[in-house]
Amino acid sequence: MKIGILGTGMVGQTIAEKLVQLGHEVMMGTRDKQATLAKTGKDNFGRSAFSEWIKKNSKIQLGSYSEAADFGEFLVNATSGMGSVAALKVAGENYLANKVLLDISNPLDFSKGMPPSLTICNTDSLGEQIQRTFPKTKVVKSLNTINAYLMTNPKLLPEPTNIFLNGNDANAKTEVKKLLTSFGWNEKDIIDMGDISTARGTEQILPIWIRLMGTLQTPIFNFKIVVGKK
Amino acid sequence: MKIGILGTGMVGQTIAEKLVQLGHEVMMGTRDKQATLAKTGKDNFGRSAFSEWIKKNSKIQLGSYSEAADFGEFLVNATSGMGSVAALKVAGENYLANKVLLDISNPLDFSKGMPPSLTICNTDSLGEQIQRTFPKTKVVKSLNTINAYLMTNPKLLPEPTNIFLNGNDANAKTEVKKLLTSFGWNEKDIIDMGDISTARGTEQILPIWIRLMGTLQTPIFNFKIVVGKK
């Protein structure tokens, strides 16, 4: 499959590497290609600059947001949540139309320091905002409740855990589920929560997720839902 | 221990029964004792009226909010979240002062139908609001992330799951932890998240919890946090 990934950060890179391993063709999209490639040194998390990373991942193409959105038959939103709607607008509504968009973003506002707050919550969600802004796009929210390394490697955890799907289009959710199982997720552990408004719940996990990362001293954890016998 | 429980709903009743079983003296507090005892028939959830329940639980005393707060050396807030601050004010700041208050409430607004929204979230929480309103009270939020039956019977689930503590006072959290272990929780499964502001995270679990109850068709479930090896 030809897949366009919007966003060149850790989430975008991790997903891109896995997709290429699985035999997909990948183009990553960025706001300013020159600026993205010009960065050097390590980032705040100690990771190499994008220009170093892309050298090691030469099968992955880099384009503008529009080029990546045009390229992909299937799209991934891995931009940071505060800028996601703007980035998708730059990509262009026509390139997004009639495609599945796997939305991994979270509406986190780090501008006032740690812990971040949410820019949207409670009676709305970023997933819904994206779906409303691009009504012809089939938005499916998933993977936003875990660290990037776990997204493509759920077996990093000692036992199976759960991830969620939120979206209006059943076929789009089936496509996303297929991709997730190819990443190593068990189909039975992927919980379809319902329409895109259920993204309110999965996005509002972030506040406890961030605090747990501090308490547990690692981002490598996830929630397993344990159900009683009926 | 003499324990005062504010609130006579399902959470208050379940906690009261368990506390009496464990040998504590319990008084439940309500806004209007006559009105609480006058209700007959079944409630919306098919449970018997309070007057029927209290007959079967004759060791449990019923008083006003103030009487229950005065009675208890240790207090439990099991009122519905939207009315918690008002109920605690009626109970009286002086009766709450210098006591541990286990706050189980959630700021859920059902007035616009299902699913409920939160009346407070993101940059504040009901736990914080209660602590700010009653600065001399040692507020510890816990148990608000699970169904009442699980609170006092964690073994209803096929494997251990997690609950959380949020509060500013370390000794108060230790007291609450002791109570929770007497309910059947393993000490290692009770996660101290930090100060009362971490209640933002545990209260914001409710939106996904409510949706999961619908998806799973049962309220008898909980989150287990699975952590990767370091």
Per-residue pLDDT of B21-52, as tens digits, reads 999 999 999 999 999 999 888 877 788 899 99
Give me the sheet containing A163-167, strands edge to edge.
A61-64, A25-30, A2-6, A74-77, A100-103, A138-141, A163-167, A190-194
Quick one: tokens of A167? Answer: 């979206």
Written as one letter, the residue type at A16 is: A
Q: In terms of Cα–Cα distance, which of B225, B197, B160 is closest to A146?
A: B225
Please indicate if any CB of chain A lies within 8 Å of the CB of B98.
no
Q: Cβ separation of A227 and B216 shorter than 8 Å?
A: yes
Written as one letter, the residue type at B157 is: L
With beta carbons less than 8 A apart as the criterion, state whether A195 and A201 touch. no
Distance set, CA B156 to CA A33, B21, B161, B224 (Å):
55, 18, 11, 14
Please indicate if any CB of chain A lies within 8 Å of the CB of B151.
no
Chain A residues closer than 8 Å to B211 by CB:
193-194, 198, 201
CB atoms within 10 A of CB A173: 22
Quickly list DSSP for chain A. Answer: -EEEEE--SHHHHHHHHHHHHTT-EEEEEES-HHHHHH--SB-TTSPBPHHHHHHHTTTSEEEEHHHHHHH-SEEEE-S-GGGHHHHHHHH-HHHHTTSEEEE----EE-TT-SSPEESS-SS--HHHHHHHH-TTSEEEE-STTS-HHHHT-GGGSSS---EEEEES-HHHHHHHHHHHHHTT--GGGEEEEESGGGHHHHHTTHHHHHHHHHHHT-S-EEEEEEE---
Chain A residues closer than 8 Å to B191 by CB:
212, 215
User: Which residues on neighbouring strands pair with residue A181, listed in sequence order?
Assistant: none
Q: Cβ separation of A226 and B223 shorter than 8 Å?
A: yes
Please indicate if any CB of chain A lies within 8 Å of the CB of B211.
yes
In the three-class reduction of DSSP (H, G, I as helix; E, B as strand; rest coil), residue B156 is classed as helix
Q: Which of A126, A192, A208 should we substitute to test contact with B (largest number of B Cβ atoms within 10 Å)?
A: A208
The pLDDT of residue B13 is: 97
Q: Is the pLDDT of residue A123 over 90?
A: yes
Chain B residues closer than 8 Å to A117 by CB:
122-123
- A138 pLDDT band (50/70/90 cuts)? very high
Please indicate if any CB of chain B lies within 8 Å of the CB of A159.
yes
Q: Which of residues 20-39 of A touch B (CB under 8 A)?
A: none
Residue with the two structure tokens 């099991």: B78
Q: Is the pLDDT of residue B152 over 70?
A: yes
Q: Cβ separation of B204 and A205 shorter than 8 Å?
A: yes
CB atoms within 10 A of CB A41: 7
The pLDDT of residue B206 is: 98
Query: d(Cα A114, Cα A116) in Å, to the nearest integer?
Result: 5
Q: Please state the length of chain B.
A: 230
Q: Return the percent helix, strand and coil in chain B, to nearest 5.
A: 40, 20, 35
Instruction: Count contacts between A and B (CB, < 8 Å).
Output: 130
Q: What is the mean predicted confidence (pLDDT) over A222-230? A: 92
The pLDDT of residue A46 is: 81
Q: What is the mean predicted confidence (pLDDT) over B53-70? A: 97
The pLDDT of residue A43 is: 78
Written as one letter, the residue type at A212 is: L
The pLDDT of residue A47 is: 84
Q: Does B154 sit behind a cis peptide bond, omega within 30 degrees of 0 on the bond before it?
A: no
Query: What is the interface pTM, i.e. ipTM, of the complex?
Result: 0.96
Query: d(Cα B4, Cα A214) in Å, to the nearest integer?
Result: 34
In the three-class reduction of DSSP (H, G, I as helix; E, B as strand; rest coil), residue B64 is classed as strand
With beta carbons less than 8 A apart as the criterion, state whether A128 and B134 touch. no
The one-character DSSP state at B47 is: P
Q: Is the pLDDT of residue A165 over 80?
A: yes
pLDDT digits (tens, 9 = 90+) for A40-87: 888 777 888 999 999 999 999 999 999 999 999 999 999 999 999 999
With beta carbons less than 8 A apart as the criterion, state whether A215 and B202 touch. no
Query: d(Cα B173, Cα B194) in Å, to the nearest integer?
Result: 10
Q: Cβ separation of B222 and A221 shorter than 8 Å?
A: no
Predicted structure pTM score: 0.96
Q: Is the pLDDT of residue B230 over 70?
A: no
The pLDDT of residue A42 is: 84
Query: d(Cα B42, Cα B197) in Å, to the nearest integer?
Result: 37
pLDDT digits (tens, 9 = 90+) for B181-229: 999 999 999 999 999 999 999 999 999 999 999 999 999 999 999 999 8
Q: Which residue has the higher pLDDT, B42 or B66?
A: B66
* B25: closest CA of chain A, how far (Å): 31
Q: Is the pLDDT of residue A203 over 80?
A: yes
Q: What is the mean predicted confidence (pLDDT) over A26-33? A: 97
Q: What is the mean predicted confidence (pLDDT) over A36-41? A: 90
Q: Is the pLDDT of residue B161 over 90?
A: yes
